[in-house]
Amino acid sequence: MDRDLMEVTIPRLEELYRANKYTVTEVVEWYLTRIAWYNGIYRAVQTVDARNALATAAREDAEAKAGGSSFRRGPMWGVPIVTKANTSIKGLITTDGWKGYMIPGHELVAPKDATIVAKLRTAGAVILGQTNMPDFAASDTNRSTAFGRTGNAYDVRFSPGGSSGGTVTAVTGNFALLGNGTDTGNSIRMPSATSSVVGVFPTRGLVSIAGIAPLDWLLDNTGPIARTVTDATIALDVMASEDAADARTTGSAAEAQKGPYTQYLKADALKGKRFGVPAFILAGAGIPFQGIPASAPASEVAEDTEDSREPLRPETRAAFMKSVEGLRAAGATVVFDDSILPDSFAVTVARVGTFPYVKEGTEKFLAEYGPAQYHSAAEYESVIGSRLPPTIIGGADPATRRGRATIVQESIESDPQAEANFYGPRKKALEAYNETLDRLHLDGFVYPATQMPPPDETMPQNGKLSEGPHSDTGWVNMIGVPAVVVPGGFYPDGLPFGLEISARPWRDGDLLGWAYAYEQATKHRRPPVLVEKGLLPDAR
């Protein structure tokens, strides 16, 4: 089984099932055994739901036996997966990485499945458990008050990135075949880059985020994390659809490329394509997370922009240039030019201000997915006796520590400043993005998914506790275009480098085709060698 299931793909697993070599129960037990063996060191899976996973496996085995040779399997039938701990699973605690949702007797137990969980179940997936994540997904590394620290599968001392670090360690370490991540500023893509996996950020609105505890609902997104582009694409085909519970998916079926997206996976998909390299990423220009609201004075804009500056490290530049060789070898042209998304683009994107509306997202989530005891921030405070943190409801945000006024929380639907804060800057930034593609006849953009290698979390980073590997890719969330990270090679010390590609809105099929062609041409991925004892036992 180790030989057959290690690094197994969905198509290969389907072959094994069709040949009756393994039952779903046997496959699920194999994954559960790996989690039990290694999770104490890597701490990727916060909640192991063995009972329900085995019950699902037994049911699927019985259905297959009863159906005989005419039995038809769903696109993810018998596929063992994990989901991130902010993604609601009926009957389980949606910890969102935070101990405040785990208070005994007051746990945030999901009353129903998130939309994507329901769709994955219908397709036949078997959910093994929920992966660790930092509190509210608000970190570039994977330390949580709910479960502790997740280690990088390639070296447990190093960061897997955040906030989907639990999923990437689980997937790259073969604790599951694939999983979902969420991404508010880089949280699917940056962790995928640290761990030699594929991370997909769909066009915002292609996949519903209903039932996912928000960090910032205007920027949040969800997508698959897998070891191959093919597996990620199969999962995206399952996850994508309009959903009345997520208004941003309305009309997506008409906007999006025709599915299934697997039809775009062709080995020659990069031939004749042109990609530009954003100049502001190479320069490390700063884009503050959640942007800068229109009311901010020039002094605050300058201060926040400077604080967000993240230079591209020399070793990452070298890894990126080497990965570009793979694109060119596969038939693509890669264009470097100072006019390609320059620093002025970063300035434009930085004015997409979303923090004034974070509480609205939290209130909507709790109203539908909160436990019986509380369905709002006010009810949480009444029941627990303490408030939800400013991270997800606003109020005394970190900016007040510098003597700034508190940002007042509003409903974006009724706020007279919504156009100046969000809609206007977002439209302007998206126009600049598309204008660059048109002007230089580009198909998309390519760039490093992180500005640095994964840091060693046993050592200080910039003189303090490691904050994880940072990126300059939050602009993707602010304009909602699709992006994908693929394994781009390895640093000299053996840690992975990830290449990110972005495309025009709704060209997700083309994007996945390019990623597939790059993957097939380079075959960079190699699995980690896991250890049974670590430098950080229990990783607390």
Half-sphere exposure of 109 (CA within 13 A, CB side): 9
Distance between CA 235 and CA 30 in Å, rounded?
A: 21
Distance between CA 146 and CA 526 in Å, rounded?
A: 31
Q: Which of 88, 139, 144, 163 is catalytic?
A: 163
Three-class SS of 426-468: HHHHHHHHHHHHHHCCCCEEEEECCCCCCCECCCCECCECCCC
Type of residue numbered 31: Y
For residue 428, give Cα distances in angstroms to 419, 482, 494: 11, 17, 41
Angle at 18 between CA 16 and CA 19, to 5 degrees: 65
Question: Which residues are bridge partners to 529 per DSSP?
Answer: none
Angle at 423 between CA 419 and CA 425, to 5 degrees: 100
Q: Which of 84, 119, 273, 359 is catalytic?
A: 84
- Contact criterion met (CB below 8 Å) for 382 and 372: no
Residue 298: count of CB within 10 angstroms of its CB: 7
Three-class SS of 176-233: CCEEEEECCCCCCHHHHHHCCCEEEECCCCCECCCCECCCCCCCCCEEEEECCHHHHH
At residue 539, what are phi and psi to the nearest 5 degrees? 50, 35
Distance between CA 38 and CA 42 in Å, rounded?
A: 6
User: Is 299 labeled as catalytic in the residue annotation?
Assistant: no
Q: Which of 88, 139, 187, 323 is catalytic?
A: 187
User: Is 163 labeled as catalytic in the residue annotation?
Assistant: yes
For residue 539, give Cα distances in angstroms to 132, 247, 442, 531: 12, 40, 45, 13
User: Is 187 labeled as catalytic in the residue annotation?
Assistant: yes
For residue 515, give Cα distances in angstroms to 10, 42, 122, 264, 397: 18, 28, 27, 10, 39
Residues classed as catalytic: 84, 163, 187
